[in-house]
Chains A and B, each alone.
Chain A
Amino acid sequence: MEKIKNNKVVKAIGFNRIILIGVIILLYLIFAVLTPVLHSGADFVTYDRFMSALNYAYFIGFMALGVTFVIATGGIDFSVGPVMFASALISGFCLMKYNIPLPVCLIISLLIGLAFGTLNGYFVAYRFLPSFITSMASMQIAKGIGSVFTKTQSVTWPGTGNANSWYRYLVKWNNIPTGLIILIAVAVICAIVLNKTKAGRYMLCIGSNKEAVRLSGVNTKKWEMLAYMICGLMVGIAAIFYVGAYTTVQPGLGDTFNNEAIAACVMGGTSMAGGLASILGSIIGALIVALMQEGILAMGFTISYQYVLTGIIVLVAVTADIMSRKRKS
């Protein structure tokens, strides 16, 4: 094992990431074998299944990218799912009910995400509220606002064939998974911000030793708040990709996606104690979550099994993280 770990290529990519890529391949093979057995007539290895898994990976991936910044600072955001739904509901309602132009609605979606991120960031960084309490509160606010604004009605964004459906090209265009290209491009930008800019360094250092960062003269409040704002913006983008893939949004939902986004981050190697984050790991984590969701559906199980599995993944990932740190210290 040590020999493998010390291999140059393994070292460059990271042993944990290679394990995660192995998990993706293994899961894919398991689902490919089990789907026809458990669900007669069904096939997992199809283009449609692949695209469906990617559709799920897009919005989970964007949320995971955002949450990575927050976790890097040592905090947490439990509101990403409901905020994504609130963004999609409100901007969709503006589009369908008030005929506000589509580009403006897309910007509204981003702004709603950003507003929630700013709210969370303000209370955590400037009012010193624990991040889990703040984000739990904004989760409720987001769910409430989404329901109140749409009068608890679901919102359906324009489908294919409608003049306003060009936003769906962000997800798929002529069978090309444009969403994947955009997700990778955004992930690259996030990786540069986190690893190569002062802002990213500040966020990571805040996560590992906030007091030292403050004493060194850095405005820790500003940079901590920025992490939450980035998360909010990513959630706004996730909302666009969610409606781009599924078009219909229902109020009062979205909490289940929190766990999936956080699970993706933790699986990917972002430390729950803060100070260490992996953008690539979060993307791989999101792909695993999406693959599992698609696999479970393909095998003929209901979505409820996906919730059970996500819960188990969170437990396993968190326990593994704690145990690995205990063992090493």
Chain B
Amino acid sequence: MTEQYQAYFSESDPEKRKKLLDAIEEADGQTPALELCRKLWRLRYEDPKSKRRVDLFLWEILELLCLYGTARIMKKSAKKDTEKALKALGISLASDYGQEGEQILQEELRNTVRLYLKTCESKSYGRRLFGLTELKDQDRPARIAKDMWRLSMGLPQRLQMTEEFAPLAKAVREEFCSQYADGEALLQKKEEEGNGGKNQKQ
């Protein structure tokens, strides 16, 4: 992957990302990789129903986390909603572009997970007890790990959709472990806890 693509996948601002894609086009011309990047960009940031700036990939991550809670009781409808969410994440798009397409999709999903992890540093994420108290800094990684586990293992296992989740699960694990030195251990702990923490509250 060229430096320009690396810059594109490490940027989180949609407008800057678009400019980076334009720069790639100027340098390399139209390529299948660029075409897929543009498709994913449109899928992620364009919503004809909304006038606001959107990040639909980030929303789908949230929706999948939410579905984990409902998947136990309303399994059928949760499965349907999950399929929709995975489609909205562009997972089916990449297969037409071969191995390179899968790599691009991976990077795009990692970019989304990175943004999600950044939001986990916010005050609202650490809110506890009706917003009266906050989570201690040292407790945050465990809570984030719980979310990451739900996305990468919990929900796929609960809905028996491990294969469909594979690209997302890989991106989630890789990004989480790249940001937290003990990421793998935290995820492993969640896994051991019990198919873990399926009765857990947020």
Contact = CB atoms under 8 A, between A and B. Distances in A.
A271 B130 contact: no
B34 interface: no
B87 interface: no
A212 B116 contact: yes
A255 to B, nearest CB: 17
Contacts of B124: 74, 209-211
B62 A212 contact: yes
A325 to B, nearest CB: 6
Interface stretch (A8-16, A156-164, A304-312): A8-16
Nearest to B146: A329
A204 B130 contact: no
A213 interface: yes
A205 interface: yes
A217 B53 CA distance: 6
Contact size range, B = 35 or more
A215 B115 contact: yes
A201 B146 CA distance: 19
Of A208, A209, A217, A218, most B-chain CB atoms within 10 Å = A209
B201 A269 contact: yes
A202 B170 CA distance: 26
Contact of B66 (A75, A204, A324, A328): A204
B188 interface: no
Nearest to A277: B69
Interface in A45-89: 71, 74-76
A212 B61 contact: yes
Nearest to A77: B130
Interface residues of A, number: 45
Given A211-B119, A215-B119, A131 B130 contact: yes
B31 interface: no
A11 B198 CA distance: 10
Nearest to B120: A209
A217 B56 CA distance: 8
Given A132-B130, A212-B116, A215-B58, A274 B202 contact: yes
Given A14-B72, A212-B116, A273-B202, A329 B139 contact: yes
Contact of A272 (B73, B125, B129): B129
Interface in A128-157: 130-132
Interface string A289-329: 00000000000000000000000000000100110110011
B59 A217 contact: yes
Contacts, number: 119
Contact of A273 (B53, B62, B201): B201
Interface in B35-76: 47, 50, 52-56, 58-59, 61-63, 65-66, 69-70, 72-74
A219 B50 CA distance: 10
Contacts of B132: 76, 130, 132
A271 B128 CA distance: 9
Interface string B115-146: 11001101011011111100000010011001
Interface secondary structure of B, over-half rule = helix
Contacts of A97: none
A195 interface: yes
Contacts of B66: 201, 204-205, 208
Given A216-B59, A321-B201, A328-B193, A76 B54 contact: no
B197 interface: yes
Interface in A1-41: 5, 11-16
A209 B62 contact: yes
Nearest to B130: A76
Nearest to A73: B131
Contact of B201 (A15, A195, A325): A325
A92 interface: no
B55 A215 contact: yes
Contacts of A117: none
Name which of B59, B61, B124 has the most chain A CB atoms within 10 A of its CB.
B124
A138 to B, nearest CB: 15
Nearest first, the 4 closest Cβ-Cβ pairs linking A and B are A217-B54, A76-B130, A210-B124, A211-B122
21 contacts: A74-B124, A76-B132, A196-B77, A201-B63, A201-B66, A209-B116, A209-B120, A209-B125, A210-B125, A215-B55, A216-B62, A217-B47, A217-B54, A219-B52, A273-B202, A274-B131, A276-B69, A322-B129, A325-B201, A329-B142, A329-B146
